[in-house]
């Protein structure tokens, strides 16, 4: 993009000073905490947003995963560090 488009969660600010950043509440789904294969899908995880569906061959972003509408847009997040119980 050649420019900062979203403010960072840990200090990266967009140009325009504190006022421009304080009034911009958009955030980007970083989805950089974990990678899991679940239900035949490759997902990247982040605590503050939906999992991201990734193409396993190209690693291209295919979209946010809502699990057939169970995770509502903008209202729910997931765990970035799931525990998979081997007994189940």
CA distance 74 to 68: 15
pLDDT at 26 over 90: no
Q: Is the pTM here over 0.75, yes or no?
A: no
Q: 41 - beta bridge partners?
A: 38
pLDDT at 60 over 80: yes
């Amino acid at each position: 993009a050649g420019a900062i488009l979203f403010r960072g969660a840990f200090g990266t600010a967009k140009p325009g000073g504190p006022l421009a950043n304080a009034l911009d509440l958009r955030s980007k789904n970083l989805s950089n905490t974990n990678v899991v294969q679940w239900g035949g899908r490759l997902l990247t995880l982040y605590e503050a947003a939906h999992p991201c569906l990734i193409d396993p061959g190209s690693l291209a972003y295919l979209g946010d995963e809502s699990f057939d509408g169970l995770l509502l847009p903008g209202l729910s997040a997931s765990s970035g560090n799931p525990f998979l119980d081997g007994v189940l």
